[in-house]
Amino acid sequence: MKRNVAVGLGIVTVLALAGAAWFFSQGDAEPTTDVTAPPIESSETTIGESDPVQSTAPAVSEQPTTFELTDATTATFRIDEELRGSPKTVVGTSNVVLGQIQIDRDDLANSQIGEILINARVFETDSALRNRAIRGPILDTDAFEFVSFEPTSIDRLEGIAEVGDELSFSITGDLTIRDVTEPVTFEVTATLTSDTTIEGSATTIVERGPFELAIPSVPTVANVSESVPLELTFVAESA
């Protein structure tokens, strides 16, 4: 009987060590350093001199300006859990966010938002072990370095914009986490703080289930929330 118990404990120990080895062997890949923001494809149509079609549209005072997200831009998620029986809100932040915004100040309806890339390999929380879990079994950042958002429509952005104006609008698009893509809508507040700078934030709620974001079973962690707020705090500058 004692021998069977000892064998059983030995098997459990081996399995636990194997699980720990698997857990800590993931999420080691370093972030790629030479990635640039995906460019916005212009939707303008140019009429050549020999083209018989003549434009009757009034002259536009300004061409749309392209702004690029700077290093001051961050992506933050928040998730609630019980840690050792006490409620805790986990905050994770990535400071590598790439993307472009094109603003037509004379007609905001012509503005465009390019694809946004969030580097998941640099997500940081208050715990090294939690960082390993996020980069490893949760997001599998060795295989899927970036969380991406590709806009498909912009709502409530119209009129003209002057320096100092605060704009409130929404952006709907496809959010891809690992190899799962689902539609989400960000609520955006942005201010043209100067002729060359835009600052603001964009927020949405991500549900873990549709994105297959399973939390590894840990004895000290329970009741992890299904809903995960995601926020982009951005600064974008024109060239």
What does the pLDDT look like over 75-129, one tens digit per residue? 999 999 898 888 989 999 999 999 999 999 999 999 999 999 999 999 999 999 9
Q: What is the pLDDT of residue 83?
A: 86
| CA atoms of 109 and 155, how far apart (whole Å) | 9
Q: What is the pLDDT of residue 44?
A: 44
pLDDT at 48 over 50: no
Query: Which of 44-48, 116-120, 150-154, 181-185 comes out lowest in average pLDDT?
Result: 44-48
Token pair 């029986």: residue: 85
One-letter amino acid of 21: A
Buried/exposed 156-183: b ≥16 CB within 10 Å, e otherwise: ebeeebeeeeebebebebebbbbeeeee
Q: What is the pLDDT of residue 61?
A: 46
Q: What is the pLDDT of residue 2?
A: 52
According to the 3-state scheme, what is the secondary structure of 89-149?
EEEEEECCEECEEEECCCCHHHCEECCEEEEHHHCECCCHHHHHHHHHHHCCCCCCCEEEE
Q: What is the pLDDT of residue 26?
A: 57
Domains (ranges, CATH) in the chain?
Answer: 2-30+62-238 (2.40.128.110)
Average pLDDT score, the chain: 85
Provide the whole-model pTM. Answer: 0.81
pLDDT at 11 over 60: no
